[in-house]
Amino acid sequence: VSKKAKMCAADHVKQYPLGVLHSDGGKLFCTYCNVTVDHRKSSVDRHLDSSTHRTRKVEIQSTTANDSLAKKQKTLTSSTENREAQNYLNFELTEMFVCANIPFEKLDNKKLRKFLRWHAANGGAIHLSAQLRREYLPKVVECHKQEIMELIKWSGSLSVVTDQSTDSQDQYVLHILFVLQGLNGEDASDSELKAVLTDTMYLQAVNYNTVSQAIVKCLNTFGVDFNISAFISDSATYMSKAYNRVPQGLMPNSVHLTCNAYIVVLASDIWSTILPEVDKLIASKKVFKYCPSRKLHFKEHLQSAVQAVGSNLCVKLPHEPVKTRWGNWYAATEYHAQYITFYLTFVEEEMEITPNTEVLKELKQLLDNSETLQVQLNLITRYGKKLVDLIKWLESHEIRVHQAYNKVFDETLKGEQHSSNTGIQNQCIETFTEVADKLTSYYDPDSRGRTSHFTQPAHQFLEAVRVFDPLQVCTLNLDTLPLDSIPGLNRSCRTELESYRFYAKECNRELSLTAFWRSAKPHFPNIANLAKQYLSVVPNSVDA
């Protein structure tokens, strides 16, 4: 063995000027760059002659008079491992920036880079933003794609959820998600549906052609074999057409659902139409929100008014109703129902300060009939809560598609009877009944003469999929159930139905759906396979 091969890191340090290199734990380090250097002299010379090293040497020399005080840090055991660690560091950093939605350009800030070099392990190895974007961002994207493909392979079946929106620059954006489920997993208690964003596509125009092409492209990109359970979207005409024209032929075992939560929102819009006074009160947010001095005065007025009547209400500012936040209108009515008795004196005080304010005049005119508004708000709060609860229930990630049909037709959606027979109460009860009737008509279009555009296209599927619930199958009339609406329910499945019903009667009622079908698969393999596939259908497009 040559003498040169026996030289240790400390010997190499002595070959260069003091403070340029240092050794630690038998490893050779560049003091200025805080990275390990290969022991070979040619490698050391090449590193010291690099522009990166020279730049960092000048920076450090300008901030400290003694080069030997530069921080020393431990890294890896060899130059190969060190390069792997640097690659891993930059990959993880890129992935973190993407997940946290942090612009890469932040890494070009001189103060930040100086901090990272001095205080982060291997901080000197972090690349600039352009290099991260060029070298590591494609790797992060590919890794994300591979992870999704593994999830798809593990899940067995999936639903496609899509929705169109616009970004801050008014460009059309199409979100495509895959909803996976744990029904094929080992954990019998796993009943959560997992939504994964697979692609965000920018469209030049929004129509059935561009949407269907984007969906097919996404499915091909992730290697989906078109064994898809459902296509979930909103009720837009182009979405229905996009499914009927192209994807339906490629996904023969799928069903098209429009978002059930959105259907409830559409039906409940009747409240704001039939009770315009309440809607005007909720829309008068300019009075309570936008003027800082008036907002402060309003809060102080509420606090003193609440204390004067001995109430324990927690004083807060009004809800601001947002159309895109479902159930937000009802939250606003609940707020105003609590505080409306204190509004009139506040408005009168404000009008003395600014008598010519138009919004105050309009609100004063509205509050002259505050007793009627109070009754309407109380009744909306009472009945609207049921609709809000239904929306939240439909937004759940749990396996609930087998319960959606019953939930919509639940008895709690019907108007209650009151002993007092006032006109306002009757109006509210009739309004709620109309909401319930409208909601019901989405799921029973034949009896209402509605066009297909204003219906839930999967209403028969939602009615029939209840057959996969062991708690419901014993009470269903299979002869009248539209079982043909479940794709793949063939003669073999029908022959197993009676045996399955008998088995369901005798099974443990406390078993979860996943546990039941895992135990029932050896007895009814055809029905069990369909149950796994269609119970994993998510009944909403909330995630998109």
Provide DSSP, 171-230.
-EEEEEEEEEESTTSS-TT--BEEEEEEEEEEESS-SHHHHHHHHHHHHHHTT--S-EEE
Long-range contacts of 112-119, Cβ-Cβ distance < 8 Å, separation of 24 or more: 114/59, 117/34, 117/56, 118/71
As a whole number of angstroms, the distance between CA 384 and CA 378 comes to 10
Residue by residue, pLDDT tens for the chain (544 residues) are 444 445 777 887 888 888 788 887 777 888 878 778 877 787 888 888 888 888 878 877 766 544 444 444 444 445 556 777 788 888 889 999 998 989 999 989 989 888 888 887 777 888 888 989 999 999 998 888 888 888 887 776 788 999 988 888 888 999 999 988 654 444 434 567 778 888 889 999 999 899 999 999 998 888 887 778 899 998 888 888 888 887 777 888 889 998 888 888 887 778 878 888 888 888 777 676 677 788 888 888 888 888 887 777 777 777 776 666 777 888 888 888 888 888 888 888 888 888 778 888 888 888 888 888 888 888 888 877 788 888 888 888 888 888 888 888 774 455 454 444 466 667 767 777 777 777 777 777 665 555 555 678 888 999 999 999 998 988 888 888 999 999 988 888 999 998 898 888 888 777 788 888 888 889 999 999 898 888 888 888 888 8
The SS3 call for residue 402 is helix
pTM to 2 decimal places: 0.71
Query: Which letter does DSSP use for residue 70 in this model?
Result: S
The pLDDT of residue 63 is 64
Provide DSSP, 136-156.
IHHHHHHHHHHHHHHHHHHH-
Count CB neighbours of 212 within 10 A.
21
The SS3 call for residue 14 is helix
Contact 416, 465 (CB under 8 A): no
Contact 513, 191 (CB under 8 A): yes
Query: Which letter does DSSP use for residue 132 in this model?
Result: I
Q: Which one, of 385, 507, 407, lies nearest residue 462 by Cα?
A: 407
Residue by residue, what is the 3-state secondary structure of 295-335?
Answer: HHHHHHHHHHHHHHCCCCCCCCCCCCCCCCCCCHHHHHHHH
- First-to-last alpha carbon distance for the chain, in angstroms, is 66
Q: What are phi and psi of 414, to 5 degrees?
A: -85, 150
Count CB neighbours of 201 within 10 A.
18
- Going by DSSP bridges, is the β-strand pair 35-36/27-30 parallel, antiparallel, or unpaired? antiparallel
